[in-house]
Amino acid sequence: MFDRIREKLGILADAAKYDVSCSSSGSNRKNENKGLGDAEGTGICHTYTEDGRCVSLLKILLTNHCIFDCAFCVSRRSNDIKRAAFTVEEVVELTMNFYRRNYIEGLFLSSGIFKNADYTMERLVRIVKKLRDEERFNGYIHLKTIPGASEELLKEAGMYADRMSINLEMPTETGLKLLAPEKSHEEVKKPLNFIQKSIATFSDEKAIIKSVPKFVPAGQSTQIVIGATPDTDKEIMHTANAFYKNFSLKRVYYSGYIPISYDNRLPVIGTQPPLIRENRLYQADWLMRFYGFNVQEIVNDAYPNLEVDVDPKLSWALRNLEQFPVDINTADYRMILRVPGIGVTSALKIVQARKFGKLRQDNLKKIGISFNKAKHFIRYADSPMQMQDFEAGHLKGIILSESHSKYQKKPISQLSLF
């Protein structure tokens, strides 16, 4: 018994880990029934894996049996691996007992598709329903939308889950068709759209009638695998941007492809996952969501790929030197936010603090901006006389030589595959 559950957990956690989302924030589920758990407010990472990823949820598959044969997926039909399946009770017990010990914020439940979409979705719904109704569990639940599942089941799932997600997998339709002929972006859009509409309906009703139940309060997300197909960063970011806009997604996750197959359509096993590129994509994503950048400013036909040696914000600044220097004491918030080396928190502090007098170098350093980077782009009360206008390439050289980037000192082991 003991060994069997250990083996199942091993197999089904291993198969689930390629879904990178581990967010447990953004919900508003309070513990109002004196049950277990509370999913209100910010998420908590209870530990981090050795690769530095947050562990916030018990992330497992219900089963890794799957009728599909997607080349990029470790659970694909044709892959010769051990298969396992949890019972409904086992998932419930694991979740409750892990939560009680403060190991996790909740459950991330996904599944291979066995028999058909509805059959699978129905099993997932049964688990979350039992957790909520019988165990009075108020922790966070992230539930996978199974493509092709009926709207009735999706609606029922949404009544219990905090977040739902369905993965685009490949950034472009052609890429997806190449690796997973049985899938399409269309069948991802349909449920995304249905759930988004339902969220809107529920929130409209809630504005009028307070007793309307919650429906996917933490919204929807998706994941794009990068580096498995020859798509450019421009294609990836524009896809992400469109999905943020069209489906009000909370997050788009970018997952560097980890070679798990000898399929010749894919990078071979042993190839390093594109970690730097993944990091740059997240930075670009942040620029779109929190820094007021338009996707066109970050990647476009002239610059289809993000630079590897500098972050996308610095890269943008170097391409647009005519917009600098920015005067810290007079520029508007929007422009201060665009200075390399100044984040949202510092930008807010700067705008508040300057009401009390002109800010000087030591103020800025204390506020916590990355001064060595920012100094090339700003003017402040005691800034030195400007000697000369730098040319972009020269400036980049200076910044790189003065900074300790986590990347540039290492040899670039990331080979271009295509």
Contact mark string toward another protein, 31..50, x via CB under 8 A: x--xxxxx-x---xxxxxxx
Residue 59 or 185: the one with the smaller Cβ distance to another protein is 59
Q: C-beta of 310: minimal distance to another protein in Å? A: 20
Q: C-beta of 96: minimal distance to another protein in Å? A: 10
Residue 304 or 368: the one with the smaller Cβ distance to another protein is 368
Residue 385 CB burial class (10 angstroms; 0-12, 13-18, ≥19) = exposed
From 75-83, 327-335, 345-353, 390-398, span contacting another protein (CB under 8 A): 345-353
For residues 84, 87, 92, 97, the Cα torsion angle rounded to the nearest 10 degrees is -60
Question: What is the spatial distance between Cα 127 and Cα 160, in angstroms, rounded to a whole number?
Answer: 10
Residues 139/38, Cβ–Cβ less than 8 Å? yes
* SS3 per-residue string spanning 299-320: CCCCCCCCCCCCCHHHHHHHHC
Q: C-beta of 14: minimal distance to another protein in Å? A: 5
Q: C-beta of 388: minimal distance to another protein in Å? A: 30
Q: C-beta of 376: minimal distance to another protein in Å? A: 22
Buried b (16+ CB within 10 A) or exposed e, 300-319: eeebeebbbebbbbbbbbbe
Q: DSSP state, 406?
A: T
Q: Which of 67, 81, 82, 103 binds another protein (CB under 8 A)?
A: 103
CB atoms within 10 A of CB 94: 18
Q: Which of 29, 72, 91, 98 binds another protein (CB under 8 A)?
A: 98
Buried b (16+ CB within 10 A) or exposed e, 47-82: eeeeeeebebbbbbbbbbbbeeebbbbbbbeebeee
How far does Cα 72 stand from its chain's mean position? Answer: 19
Q: Which of 134, 301, 302, 356 binds another protein (CB under 8 A)?
A: 356
Q: Which residues pair with 63 in a beta bridge?
A: 85
Q: Which of 82, 115, 245, 366 binds another protein (CB under 8 A)?
A: 366
Residue 222 or 363: the one with the smaller Cβ distance to another protein is 363
Contact between 359 and another protein (CB under 8 A)? yes
SS3 (DSSP) at 10:
helix
Q: C-beta of 234: minimal distance to another protein in Å? A: 25
Contact mark string toward another protein, 244..283, x via CB under 8 A: ------------x-x-------------xx-x--------
Question: What is the spatial distance between Cα 162 and Cα 217, in angstroms, rounded to a whole number?
Answer: 5
From 171-179, 193-201, 330-338, 359-367, span contacting another protein (CB under 8 A): 359-367
Q: DSSP state, 113?
A: -
Contact between 100 and another protein (CB under 8 A)? yes
Instruction: Using DSSP bridges, classify how beta strands 47-48 and 54-55 pair: parallel, antiparallel or unpaired.
Output: antiparallel
Question: What is the spatial distance between Cα 268 and Cα 6, in angstroms, rounded to a whole number?
Answer: 31
Q: Which of 116, 193, 352, 405 binds another protein (CB under 8 A)?
A: 352
Contact between 54 and another protein (CB under 8 A)? yes
Residue 112 or 256: the one with the smaller Cβ distance to another protein is 256
Q: Report the amino acid identity of residue 127.
A: I
Residue 54 or 249: the one with the smaller Cβ distance to another protein is 54
Binding to another protein, residues 136-165 (CB under 8 A): 136
Number of residues that bind another protein (CB under 8 A): 58
Residue 5 or 398: the one with the smaller Cβ distance to another protein is 5
| Type and span of the H or E element at 93 | helix 88-100
Largest distance between two CA atoms of the chain: 75
Nearest to 341 by CA among 321, 312, 369: 369
Contact between 301 and another protein (CB under 8 A)? no
Question: What is the spatial distance between Cα 370 and Cα 408, in angstroms, rounded to a whole number?
Answer: 18
Binding to another protein, residues 393-412 (CB under 8 A): 406
Tokens of 127: 């688990």
From 30-38, 168-176, 197-205, 317-325, span contacting another protein (CB under 8 A): 30-38
Contact between 4 and another protein (CB under 8 A)? no
Question: What is the spatial distance between Cα 329 and Cα 247, in angstroms, rounded to a whole number?
Answer: 39
Which residues make up the interface to another protein (CB under 8 A)? 2, 5-6, 9-10, 13-14, 16-18, 30-31, 34-38, 40, 44-55, 58-59, 94, 97-98, 100-103, 136, 256, 258, 272-273, 275, 349-350, 352-357, 359, 363, 366-367, 406
